[in-house]
Amino acid sequence: MSKGKYKRWLEPDGLVILQGWARDGLSDEQIAHNMGIASKTLYRWKKAYSPICQALKKGKEVVDFAVENALLKKALSGDTTAMIFWLKNRRPDKWRDRHEMRMEGAVPVTIIDDVGVDDADINHIMEEQQHD
């Protein structure tokens, strides 16, 4: 790889191409491939050269907004799946499937064994299954 290859992508035409690839939904790995560089190189360039980072962000924002709007339209039109997805992501505090609970200090725990089977019964059942 020749040094200074990043300069081509800092030119206005290069930034437009990067933005377009991001807008088209390409991943950073796919964009790096199109640029002829390794993914690690693209990540370094994004940190080192803000115009490259900004072009990719801007391109991704466009498509993200479009998808958000399409999802919102489906949710508002009564599409239950879209409604659930929207609420779980926009209001996870209220609509998350799994709620976390924190307890601090000593919490008493009582184990109730209401199965009604003792060790002798278990041994008897196991012996019967071995003979079958």
pLDDT of residue 2: 43
pLDDT greater than 70 at residue 113:
no
Report the pLDDT averaged over residues 22-44.
97
| In contact, 54 and 88? CB cutoff 8 Å | no
Q: Residue 132: its pLDDT value, please? A: 65
pLDDT band at 44 (very low <50, low <70, confident <90, very high): very high
Q: Tell me the average pLDDT across 77-99.
A: 88
What are 25's two structure tokens? 């939904």
CA distance 118 to 122: 6
Contact 48, 42 (CB under 8 A): no
Mean pLDDT (whole number) for 79-102: 86
Q: What is the mean pLDDT of residues 18-29?
A: 96
The answer to whether the CB of 42 falls within 8 A of the CB of 35 is yes
